C-alpha cells in the first residue's frame, strides 16, 4: 500500500508527463463512458471557456461545483496567459495542478487522465491562433435564457474545408444512462437521436457550441466517437459556424426555431400571426415514456 506522500509524488510526475507529451489536435477516438464525458466536458468548459467568456456556458450537471474558492480566478489567469503566449504545456500544467483538478484526476488511470487532458486540449483549440474561428456570447436563443455561446469564423473558409481545430465528441447512451445523466437536469442541448441506430448520443466537446441554422454554413461528419466539421458554404470572417440539427429538433417541422434564417424568412418562431391561425392544430405525437419528454433531441442528418 502506497503512502499518501508517495501517491502525491507519482501524481505530480504524471501531471508533468501529461503536460509535456500531447498532441495539439488530439486523436479522435476515446474510451469515455457518458458519465465520464459529461464530467470531463463540464470541467473543461468551466476551466477554458467560461473563464474567457465570464459566464457559465452549458453544463450537463447544473448543480455540481467543480472548482474551489479562487480557482476561477486562477483559471482566468491561465487562459489570459495561454491566449497571449500560446504556451500549451504551461496551460495544461497549470490546470492539472489546481487542487480540485488533482483531486478529480487522482482516481483515474494514466490513460484516462490523458483523455481528460485531451478534452481540455480540444477546448484550448478554440483559443489557438490557428483556429480560424472563435467563441462569442450569443443572446439569440430563449432555451438558453438568451445567454449562450456561438462560434464565429475569424478568417475566410471555403466550401469543403475541414475545420481541423473544431471537433464534437460523441458517446452512445443506453436508456438508463440517459435517464440518470440528463432527465433531472433537463439538459436540452447535448443529445442527438439517431433514427438509424435507434439510440441517443451524447454530443459534447467544442462542437456542442455550434448553433443550429435552417440554412447552415457547415455540416457534422460523424465517425462514431467524434464528429468533424465540414464547411458547406463559403464563409468570411464574422460568419457564424452553424449546422443543421434535424427537421424536428425545435418541435414538429422546427416550428419553434429561432435561427437567423428563420428570422429572415419569417418562419419558425418568427412566423407571422396570420400564418399561425391558418395552421392545423398539431397532432399529439408523444407517447408516455417517449424520449422527447424533458428535452429535445437532435436527429442526425
Ligand atoms: Zn430555423
Coil, helix or strand for 106?
coil
Percent of residues, the chain, with pLDDT higher than 70: 84
Residue 170 has pLDDT above 90, yes or no: yes
Q: How many CB atoms lie within 10 A of CB 4?
A: 7
Handedness of CA 189, 143, 139, 217 (dihedral sign): positive
Compute, in angstroms, the gap from residue 240 CA to the centroid of ligand 1.
14
SS (H, E, C) 239-255: CECEECCCCCCCCHHHC
Pick the closest to residue 240 from 220, 265, 210 (CA basis). Answer: 210
What domains sit in the chain, N to C, each tagged with a CATH number? 28-127 (1.10.10.1700), 133-277+294-299 (2.170.270.10)
Give me the DSSP letters along 27-59. Answer: -S-----HHHHHHHHHHHIIIIIIHHHTS----
CA distances from 126 to 5, 67, 83, 175, 182 (A): 37, 21, 10, 32, 26
74, three cell numbers: 486562477
Query: Is the Cβ–Cβ distance between 247 and 253 less than 8 Å?
Result: yes
Q: What is the pLDDT of residues 200-242, one digit of tens each?
A: 888 999 999 999 999 999 999 988 899 999 999 999 999 999 9
What is the 71 CA–ligand 1 centroid distance (Å)? 39
Is residue 197 scored above 70 in pLDDT? no
Report the separation in Å between the CA atom of 199 and the middle of ligand 1, taken as the mean of its atom positions.
25
Q: How confident is the model at residue 295 (pLDDT cuts 50, 70, 90)?
A: very low
Query: What average pLDDT is seen over the chain?
Result: 86
Cell of 189: 442541448
CA distances from 209 to 2, 111, 236, 239, 283 (A): 42, 27, 19, 15, 32
Secondary structure in 3-state letters for 167-195: EEEEEEECHHHHHHHHHCCCCCCCEEEEC
| C-alpha 55 to ligand 1 mean position (Å) | 26
Average of pLDDT values for 65-91?
94
Q: Write down the pLDDT at residue 77.
A: 98
> Is residue 92 scored above 90 in pLDDT?
yes
Query: What's the 253 CA to ligand 1 centre distance in angstroms?
Result: 10
The DSSP annotation for 144-159 comes to GTT-EEEEEESS-B-T
For ligand 1, a single-atom ion, which residues have Cβ within 5 Å? 214, 257, 259, 262, 268
Contact 207, 167 (CB under 8 A): yes
Distance 112 CA to ligand 1 centre (A): 39
User: Looking at the DSSP assignment, which residues form a beta bridge with residue 141?
Assistant: none
Tell the residue number behind the cell numbers 433514427, with chain if given: 195
* Residue 74's pLDDT band (cuts 50, 70, 90): very high
Amino acid at each position: 500500500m502506497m503512502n499518501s506522500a508517495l501517491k502525491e509524488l507519482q501524481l505530480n510526475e504524471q501531471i508533468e508527463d501529461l503536460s509535456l507529451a500531447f498532441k495539439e489536435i488530439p486523436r479522435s477516438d476515446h474510451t469515455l463512458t457518458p458519465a465520464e464525458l459529461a464530467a470531463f466536458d463540464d470541467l473543461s468548459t468551466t476551466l477554458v471557456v467560461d473563464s474567457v467568456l465570464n459566464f457559465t456556458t452549458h453544463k450537463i450537471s447544473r448543480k455540481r461545483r467543480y472548482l474551489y474558492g479562487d480557482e476561477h480566478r486562477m483559471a482566468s489567469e491561465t487562459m489570459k496567459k495561454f491566449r497571449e503566449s500560446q504556451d500549451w504545456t504551461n496551460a495544461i500544467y497549470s490546470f492539472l495542478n489546481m487542487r480540485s483538478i488533482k483531486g478529480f484526476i487522482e482516481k483515474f488511470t494514466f490513460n484516462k487522465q490523458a483523455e481528460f487532458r485531451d478534452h481540455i486540449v480540444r477546448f484550448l483549440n478554440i483559443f489557438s491562433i490557428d483556429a480560424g474561428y472563435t467563441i462569442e456570447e450569443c443572446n439569440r436563443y430563449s432555451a438558453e435564457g438568451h445567454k449562450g455561446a456561438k462560434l464565429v469564423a475569424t478568417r475566410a473558409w471555403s466550401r469543403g474545408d475541414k475545420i481541423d481545430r473544431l471537433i464534437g465528441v460523441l458517446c452512445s447512451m443506453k436508456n438508463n444512462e440517459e435517464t440518470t445523466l440528463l432527465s433531472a437536469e433537463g439538459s436540452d442541448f447535448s443529445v442527438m437521436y439517431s433514427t438509424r441506430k435507434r439510440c441517443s448520443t451524447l454530443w459534447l466537446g467544442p462542437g456542442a457550441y455550434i448553433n443550429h441554422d435552417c440554412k447552415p454554413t457547415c455540416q457534422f461528419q460523424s465517425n462514431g466517437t467524434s464528429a468533424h466539421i465540414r464547411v458547406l458554404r463559403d464563409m468570411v470572417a464574422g460568419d457564424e459556424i452553424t449546422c443543421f440539427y434535424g427537421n424536428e429538433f425545435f418541435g414538429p417541422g422546427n416550428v419553434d426555431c429561432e435561427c437567423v434564417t428563420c428570422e429572415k424568412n419569417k418562419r419558425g418562431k418568427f412566423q407571422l400571426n396570420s400564418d399561425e391561425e391558418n395552421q392545423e392544430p398539431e397532432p399529439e405525437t408523444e407517447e408516455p415514456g417517449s424520449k422527447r419528454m424533458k428535452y429535445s433531441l437532435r436527429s442526425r442528418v
